[in-house]
Amino acid sequence: MRLATPTWKSRVTLVTVLGSQLALAALDIDFNDEDSIKKAMNTTASQMLSYYTGYRPGDVAGNLPPPYYWWECGAMFGALVEYWHYTGDTAYNDWTYQAMVHQQGNRHDYNPSNQSKSMGNDDQIFWGFAVMSAAEYNFQNPPEGETQWIALAENLFDQQVARWNMDSCNGGLRWQVYQTSPGYNYKNTISQAGLFNIASRLAVWYDNKNETFSKWANKIWDWTAGVGLLTDEYIFFDGGYEDDNCSKITNEQHMYVPALFLHGAANMYNLTGGSEKWGKRVDGIVDGLYKTYFPNHDGVMAEPCEVETCNTDMKSFKAYLARFSAAAIPLAPRIQQNVTYYLNASAKAAAQQCSGPDNACGLRWTQREKYSGATGLGEAMSAMEIFKSLLVKPADKPNTGSSGGTSKGNGDGGSGVAPPPDPEEDPRTQTIKAGDKAGGAILTVLGVLGPVAAAVMISELV
């Protein structure tokens, strides 16, 4: 993900209301009728996919045109797996299957050659979420003899734990995979959150028969808290630099980080039979999350950046808060009342904000029917995910390897030993060209200036 990029305004394509920005008719949803909610999901899914061109002859399956990055395409197809599961609509399944198979790469770990020059651990992990959901919901499996969804998730897990770096900060994942990438010296919380989430889900999938996954989930949580990225009040900060051994934390906050930790903690709570330790953590995240991202006390989520400073990536973050907080409910029913209240209030506000041309959805849900004047893939995905969250029920536990799941693992997942790099996918064997890395120049500058100046510059950009 590219959270801090000085040129994002010049790259973002906005669909604006021509002429007056007065609200048009909002999206009409009967929130007591599941069919009405599913219809709204269909409308917003169609809006979201209007930005996708990977199905066209000569285009690349599983890729999005600018200004969208590869990671968000993984997020989108993860959303479409969930869309299929909760609506029963198979209209987009072929595109979803095609993209998830095509982008897995030669080593079947979602580090394909067409993305390796700019690969971040946080980028890779969103494709991991997609295949993990595919396994949990029994999405169409690849044919026998090809790598299955759960095996893809295991391969990705093994890749990332092999990158766990003890040279600085007493551990942690770097943001970027390769040393040639700007931002390689930054250990960001979203990378830890993503691996924690996948580890917890694999632990549940295998009923903890392979304890490697749960041990890593505990290790990642402990490191995140120990280094200061997670506070005693369950506030998650953005990251720290290796240059000063993560002693000065970048104090930005983004809502998808606690969402991923909440879902992962709920998995661990479920896995441990409702342990006090994980129950306290689940409750703490919910409390910290809603104090931070529901500022008006009316139950409607808001990103701090949405007053004209969100970049393209950030405009999709509400989708992940909606998805992962709802997914936590069946695993930790103790949070149902609080989480459902906030999701319901946000869904109603989002429906009112879908008042642009052809019910295009804006970003600023707190403004209700006053359309924000711009839309995009992230806004549409966020609306679809918040509507979908209303269909999640406490009994909707995901399938596991021993209970309903049909996906097959690779037999040695959780080893933490990654295979040698494929020469075609290792940028150390390739020539890096100008423009291969969005935001590279600014992050190089940040690395030179150090964490204090970096924090100031980032805060001015986002």
Rounded mean pLDDT, 68-81 = 98
Average pLDDT over residues 456-462: 31
Is residue 12 over pLDDT 70?
Answer: no
Per-residue b/e over 132-171, b at no fewer than 16 CB within 10 Å? bbbbbbebebbeeeebbbbbbbbbbbbbbbebbeeebbeb
Whether 35 has a pLDDT exceeding 50, the answer reads yes
* Bridge partners, residue 403, by sequence: 400
3-state class percentages of the chain: helix first, strand second, coil last, to nearest 5: 50, 5, 45
CA-to-CA separations, 231 to 153, 195, 221, 234, 256, in angstroms, rounded: 29, 19, 12, 5, 16
What band does 295 get if pLDDT is binned at 50, 70 and 90?
Answer: confident
**Segment 203-237, tens digit of pLDDT:** 999 999 999 999 999 999 999 999 999 999 999 99
Q: What is the pLDDT of residue 415?
A: 59
Rounded mean pLDDT of 112-135?
95
Q: How far apart are CA 282 and CA 234, in angstroms?
A: 10
Rounded CA-CA distance 184/448 in Å is 12
Angle at 260 between CA 114 and CA 178, to 5 degrees: 30
Say which residues have a Cβ less than 8 Å from residue 428's Cβ, sequence separation at least 6: 178, 179, 180, 421
**222's tokens:** 């402990």
Q: Concatenated DSSP letters for 135-162?
A: HHTT--PPPTTS--HHHHHHHHHHHHHT
pLDDT in tens, 341-359: 999 999 999 999 999 999 9
Closest CA to 265 of 309, 311, 307, 214: 214
Q: Is the pLDDT of residue 412 over 60?
A: yes
> Tokens 């599941």 identify what position?
34
Q: How far is CA 363 from the centre of its chain?
A: 17
| Per-residue pLDDT at 275 | 98
Per-residue pLDDT band at 307 (split at 50, 70, 90):
confident
Tens of pLDDT along 264-292?
A: 999 999 999 999 999 999 999 999 998 99
**What interhelical angle do 34-49 and 70-87 show, nearest 10?**
150
Residue 375 DSSP symbol: E
User: What mean pLDDT, rounded, does the chain reach?
Assistant: 87
Pair of tokens at residue 382:
């966020």
Does residue 239 register a pLDDT over 70?
Answer: yes
Q: What is the CB neighbour count within 10 angstroms for residue 232?
A: 8
pLDDT band at 55 (very low <50, low <70, confident <90, very high): very high
Tell me which of 5-19, 21-35, 362-376, 411-425 is least confident.
5-19
The yes-or-no verdict on residue 312 having pLDDT over 50 is: yes
Higher pLDDT among residues 272 and 298, named by residue: 272
pLDDT at 433 over 80: no
The pTM (predicted TM-score) of the whole model is 0.86
